[in-house]
Structure 1
Amino acid sequence: MVGLAGWPRLRSIGQYTLVCMQCPRAHRGGRGSERSHMTFDALTMHAVRDELEREILGGHVDAVVPIDDRRVGLEVFARGGRRTLVLSLRPTDSRIYLTGERVRRGTERVTPFLLLLRKYVRGGRVAAIAQPRLERVLTLHIASHPDGGLPREVDLIAEAMGRRSNLLLVDEDGTVMDALVRVPPSVSPRRPLLPHLRYTLPPRSLKVDPADPTLDAVLEEAARDAAGPAWRLVVATVDGLSPLAAQEALARTTGTSEIAVSAVDHWDDVVCALGEIVAPLGTGFWEPCIAWRDDTPVAFAPYQLRQFPDLEIRRYATMSEVVETAVQEAVRSAPFDRLRRPLLDAISARIRQAHRKRSSLDHSLHAAEEADTLRQAGESILANVYSLTPGATWLEVEGRRIELSPTRSPVENAQAYFRQYTSARDARRIVPPLQVAVEGELHFLEEMTLHVEMAENEIEIRTLRSELENLGVVHSLRSASHATRRGRTPPAPARKGQPALGAYRRVALPGAEILVGASALGNDTVTFRLGRPDDLWFHARGVPGAHVILRGVGGAANLSHIDRAARLAARFSAARHATQVEVDYTACKHVRKVAGAAAGRVTYRKESSLRVRPAESDAAL
């Protein structure tokens, strides 16, 4: 069992975000001040661009570091020091900022795009930094001498547009060299992003520039047929504004950020407030700050925030410091990510291979349905062998057209159809077991992905690597003799005949104990070696996850213990991010291994189920 009604419809290009991090989503609902204001808008981008000009313009790019699949770090030496420019183009919240942290490589995957960055960006000089007005597109002009050859200038362009966020390398003639995410015409017919195509900027917004002298008249006209919060009308009408900026302008003029459109009497005052907010576009005098509620950041902006009288407003020296502090996510790799990432990359490659194999098997089984047709075609050719002329390309029998190869004799054509018939006939017998094996492999790989992602220490990761090496999913590390020559102590060899236990965890409870499998072999160990017949076995229903054993309770299970074990099973499952997870549980004696399947594959019966909220941590239990 395993458009706002009645509002002007203005076309917007979406939101460009810069600096590379995913910010936590604030609580949605309630007062306007509790809305999420952690977005990286166009004004924040301008503040960061001005900072980059001061800090890294003219600097030398010493290294290109792939942090993960959607984040790249550029180590730049400038002004006598080294800083890291983080470029993260995640589909959710993309950001660009400078940090003093030295980032670590978080993936072993080498892509064509990364190779081009190493060739044309690494070793280059940041010659210029550009940003279209009120757009969230940042361009770094890089001057370099690739491979020690002639001078070459390229543009590294970060487009932070929500789910269409991308990072591109563009040649000096405007040709796309490659992209972090290639966009074919089938996905974006109007603006494909592929190597050798001409680069064009995203389409401009049709909104009104906040410096336009007619803006107050435009807002008054739009307000006549609009309803709802006034900040929504401002965002829909004025270019380059996030909801936070619109609410700030309204709060400065009306005293509240949630005023209705109909309650705004003087739109010219709102336009004056907007002018104050965007004034640093010309002066460069930004005022980066964060609004805090206790120890939680609520909003950040490159201008003074006056709409939060009940919050603590802290000012910072740079916009990058604001973003890095507010997002509360370090640019360094997660703990043990250097050990974890190669395993995830190897498993991901094997999963893609298994999917291709499954597709091929499905195609073969579909072709098996034509076996009788292929046999009849061969028999029909032999029955009409004397009526066929040399070089014939088809034969019609009882209204059915049979294709022939003109270079073959009639007998050879018939033999070719019989060979196809034999393959298709045998596929009916051979393919189904292979399909079952592939599904089992995919289930195992998905479960191992979960275990690797949730490994909590170096010992667990190394145990997982050992299991994957034994199965050929990842390559073995260097030999013990080579490690010894380099002055490192090789891992101790496993004792001959000693079965591998895999990784598992123990959670102590008053009067009971919970065992949690942390690998495929660890699942087998807790279920079939450590679990007693009457101990309770838990597993999240229908998704990969850990086997969880509640020991010491027997038939008289404590309901509190059952809830805790179920929450752990939900936490260590692929559904761990869900609000509620359905968990099955039964006695260990009702759990059976699947014959011939990989470790961790089981069937079970006589189960009960309950819905629980996944535990956030062991301490939360």
Structure 2
Amino acid sequence: MENFALIAIVENLRPAMADFVVRRVVQHNPNGFIFQTRSAKFPALKIVVEPQNPALYPSEARPPGETTGTDFLMVLRKHLTSAELVSLFKPLSERIVEFVFKTAVPTKELETMSLVVELLPNAPNIILLDAERHVLCSFLPITPQHGIGEYETYCYPKTGDKLDLQDVMDTAAHDLDDVRAQSNPQSWLISRIAGLGPVLAGEIVHRQKKNNHPLTEEIRSLLQQVRAPSRAGWLYTDLPLGHILERNELKRLSKAILSPIELESLERTHSSRVFPNIIEAAKFYFDELESRTLLEQAKTPVLRVLRDAGKRLLQREKRLLREQKRYEDAEGLQKTAQMLTSSGMKMDQHYKNVTVTDYFQERPAQVEVPTDPTMTLRENVDRMFKRHQKAGRGREILAQQMVQTRKRRALLEEQTRRLHAIKDWDTWLAIASKLPGREYSGVPPALARADEDIRPKRLRLVKLEGREVFIGRNGRDNDELTFHVAAPEDFWFHVAEYSGSHVVVRNPGKEKELDESILVKAAQLAAYFSQARNSSKVEVHYTKRKHVTKPRRAKPGLVRLQEFKSIKVEPKNWLNES
């Protein structure tokens, strides 16, 4: 988040924080805190000090799971519980926000305390100051740019010889007029003015060229728009936001640009989504980014187990291929032994080489066969026959092992693909207990047997016009089918307003819609295997599997649909007619 977006967020938060009283402080992730308030209009303020995407915005959303509280959390709770916000200050040139609280602590030096939130990229921090602005405690070590130590008087990080953005707003900066003479005006502006990031600097240069206004006037105009009450907020991404969220591309999502104004310089290069105001845009973006990032971190141990197991199976397959090559080389030993037997040489003598006639070629030819001189010719021939027989038996065993190894690899790849496709916490929590965790170091139990079918034996299976259709038998089978067997693009069916089986139609081609005949038959199966079996017409919901999630602590078989369509059909059992 660039400085101009933070300016807009703070200016739009200021009116809503008039009655801000801290009720409780929660550490919702290792680098984030939520300050819960006693105000219904402003229930919570979230502060995240992730190095790549530090943020401050109103939200009480937090992903499932518990985070171990730090010592800094205990300090915040001790001093700021029941504290009332007195003032809110943000230097125009700094990505720093300072909250001044009147505390419930009776001592004079702690009656007023300041919470300084530094949202500096790669060096964010939260610092607690006493009434005399001495550093009491900090979440992370204070950087050398401050030039201070713990318990010393706090000062902002040094910015060098750059112009302060507030000075540019208040007075005319004539030394900025030669911006057009610069080969790279955007970089030149960033190096001259503190508080300008690449996005805002690029927008200033773009508008100055377009409008031909003095640079100082253009900067003031843009900052006035940024500080005005927000009536819209923009989120710019290099690809459409829906596409990024669908494919769960966190790297692209983390590079999104949050803006309180429409950025003309990005119109041709970026896609944008408009929100009612900058607060709503920030809340959507940072909550979505945080939730997806923490979910990927939760999946990492399991994916690592699967990746390591896949590497071991790949090494095993390579070893089997080398053995297969040796067995293929042993194929010619029988012919060589037969040629040695019919060579006319004395079988009880020792030879280093034996010249024989090769009748197995198109034209007979003399070839020289090396033998072991420490053994008789008969012993050499016997050893060749034994090696040939052993190779024949080994090829059969090797073929079985190769099939098993490749089947295991295929199952691992399928499991990995399905894990990567999980994008919501409800689905993850529904299946996390059944997946291998940090303590497991081998092939997952569900994949341990090479001949194990991906489909649980309890599920019903029918083929409709060449399509595999799976039907659950009870609540646990329904969960197994929906969240373990079904792929994200498979079609999912369930009767409306009644209990019943989940029905899944395979969709390997990732088609957007099912053929009408298969759609009707699958819906009829969902209607038949439900409590509405005896009804004349039954409404059935259907959607893609990726739109089905599992609520937390929900009983087996209960799911939530993010979007769906409906169709009315007559219940019919196609199992008996397939």
Scaled by the length of structure 2, the TM-score of the pair is: 0.48
Q: Which has the higher helix share?
A: 2
Larger Rg: 2
Scaled by the length of structure 1, the TM-score of the pair is: 0.45
Q: Which has the higher contact order (CA 8 A, sep 6+)?
A: 1
